[in-house]
Structure 1
C-alpha cells in the first residue's frame, strides 16, 4: 500500500473531520492524539515533568526518578460527534525500578476503528547519570493494519498492514542553583528535552517519502512551589509547532501520588503556532489513595468543535 492510499483510508475514518487534514498530511499515521489522562489534563506539557509511568510516552528520562513499580492504563473514545465510525484509544504500561541498574518500562498503545488500527509497543530504559541529570530512551515497534473495503463506485481495496520501528531519547535536569530558586520563588525547577522518532521510518509499505514519520523535538520547564506545579513546553514535528501550558495543584497535600492520599486539580492547553489553526483546552483531576491511582481529563478542541470534546480516564497502581 502506498503512503497516498493509506492516507485516504485514514481520511475515510476521519471523513467528518476536515480540520484533521493537516495532521494526516503532516504525520501520515501515528497521529499524536494525547495519551495518559494526567499529561493530557496538563495540556500535554509533560516533557519537563515526566514523573510517572506516562514518562515513557513523553520523556523516557523521567522513568529514572520513579521509586516504585507502577502500572498505568488509559481509555478514550475520540471525537464522539463522529457517528460513521467510532475511534477508540487505549494504553497500558508498567515501569519497574531495578536497584543499581536503572528503570525499565514496557507499554503498548492501540488506536482502532472499524477499518483501521495502529499499535505502538514500547521498551524503555532510564538511569540517573549525575546530580540532577537523568537520561532515557524508548524503542518503539510500530504496526498499522487496514481492512479491505469497496467504495461507492464498486472499486475494491484489499487489506494491508505494515510493521516498523523507531526510537525516542530524552533527558531531565533539575536546576539546583539556590540563588536562581530564590529569585524565582521556587522550591524546584526542572528542564526536560526529548527527541521522538529519531530514525524517521516511512510508514508506507513501499517506503514512500511522503509517509515518513517526522522527527519530533520537545522541550519544557516545570516550576514547583509547595503543592503547585506550573508547566510550559514547546514541541515541533515536521512543520507544525505547538506551545503547551499546564498547572497542577494538590488540594490534600498528604504525600506524593504514590503515598498516603492526594487529590489534584489540573488545567492545561496547547496552541498550534503554524499556519494551520488548532489547539485544545484541557481540564482534569487525579485521586490517589494508598496504592491506587485514578486520573481524568476532558479535552475541548478549539478547531474541531463539531466532533465534541472527549473524556480520557486512566487507572493505575503502585507496588
Structure 2
C-alpha cells in the first residue's frame, strides 16, 4: 500500500508540475483531444472549465459529463476523475453555468465547484466575455494517530473569445484567451506561499471551415516557468441522415510539448458521435514521460436542448 501511495504522489506531482493540485485532468473528451486551442472554441458546457466566455455563445440549455480512467497500469488503485457541467441561457441576456469535478484515490479526494457567467456582446459582433468563481476543496488520509487533513478556498477565472466571421470564403477565425487562478490562493493547510496555485494564461487561435466541416488550431500555455504549445484538429469523417436527424462521426486529435519548465509531451487522439441532441466523445491521452503508468481514457456525454 505504501508503494502505491508514493506512485500516486509521483503521478499527481508530475501532472501538476508543482507541489499542488487542482490541475486539468480532463474536463471534456473533445476539449482535451483538441488541446490548448480549445480555449478559442469552448462552445459547450465544458467552457466553464476552460474559458467561461465560451458559454456566452450558447443559445440553449446544455449539459455534459465526463468520466476519466487515469493511469490504468497503476495496480490496486482505481484512479478516476469525474466532471459535470451545465449551462442555462437567461432570457438571451447572459448565460449561467455551473460545474463540479471529483478526483479520488484511496488516500486523496479533490473537488472543484465552479459558477460562471458570460455574455455575447451584440454591439461588438463576435466578442464574448466571461468569468468564474471556483471553490476548491481537498482532503487526505492522515497518518495513524493524527487527524485527517482538509482544505477549502476559492479563486477566479476570466476569459474572452472573438470570432472573425467569414474570414475567408465562409470560414471563421477564432481567438481565445483565459486567465485562471487569478488570486493565486495557497492550497496548503498552513497557507504556505510555496503552495500557491500559479496564475495560468492560455491562448489559442482556431481556423474553422464551415464549408468542409473541419478546424485546426494552435494553443499556448504559460504558468510560472512552464511554457507549452500544441496543435489540434477536428474533421467530420462521415455524416448522414437517419430517422430525420443527422448522424455524424468526427475524428480529432492534438499533440504538444513543453518548451520550458516541467517536461511534458503527449498525443491525444479521439473521436465523436453526434445524433439528434446527444454527443458522445472519447479521447486517449498518452504522456511520453510516464509510459509505465499507461494512457488515460476519457468518455464524455453531452446533451443540448
Q: Same fold (TM over 0.5)?
A: yes
> Which residue does the alignment assign to 1:292?
278
For residue 274 of structure 1, report the CA deviation from its aligned partner. 1.4
**Aligned-partner Cα distance in 1 for 2:266–2:204:** 18
> Which residue does the alignment assign to 1:203?
187
| Equivalent pair of 2:36/2:203 in contact (CA under 8 Å) | no
**Aligned-partner Cα distance in 1 for 2:137–2:95:** 25
| Equivalent pair of 1:186/1:223 in contact (CA under 8 Å) | no
Q: How does 1:1-319 map to 2 (within 5 A)?
A: 13=5, 15=7, 18=10, 21-24=13-16, 26=18, 28-129=20-121, 130-150=124-144, 156-176=145-165, 181-182=167-168, 187-225=171-209, 226-253=212-239, 260-319=246-305
| Equivalent pair of 1:119/1:144 in contact (CA under 8 Å) | yes
| Aligned residue pairs, count | 297
> Which residue does the alignment assign to 1:3?
none
**1:70-104 C-alpha deviation (Å, 9 max, x unpaired):** 11001112111111432110001111112232111
**1:31-79 C-alpha deviation (Å, 9 max, x unpaired):** 3322211111112431011111111111110101112111100111211
**Aligned-partner Cα distance in 1 for 2:150–2:12:** 22
TM-score (norm 1): 0.87
For residue 17 of structure 1, report the CA deviation from its aligned partner. 7.2
**Aligned-partner Cα distance in 1 for 2:116–2:156:** 9
Aligned-partner SS, 1:43: helix
**Aligned-partner Cα distance in 2 for 1:200–1:77:** 29
Change (3 A) 1:186 1:22: farther
Q: Which runs of 5+ in 1 are unaligned?
A: 1-8, 151-155
Aligned-partner SS, 1:171: strand
Q: Which runs of 5+ in 2 are unaligned?
A: none
Change (3 A) 1:24 1:315: closer
For residue 120 of structure 1, report the CA deviation from its aligned partner. 0.3
For residue 15 of structure 1, report the CA deviation from its aligned partner. 2.0
**Aligned-partner Cα distance in 2 for 1:78–1:169:** 28
For residue 133 of structure 1, report the CA deviation from its aligned partner. 0.5
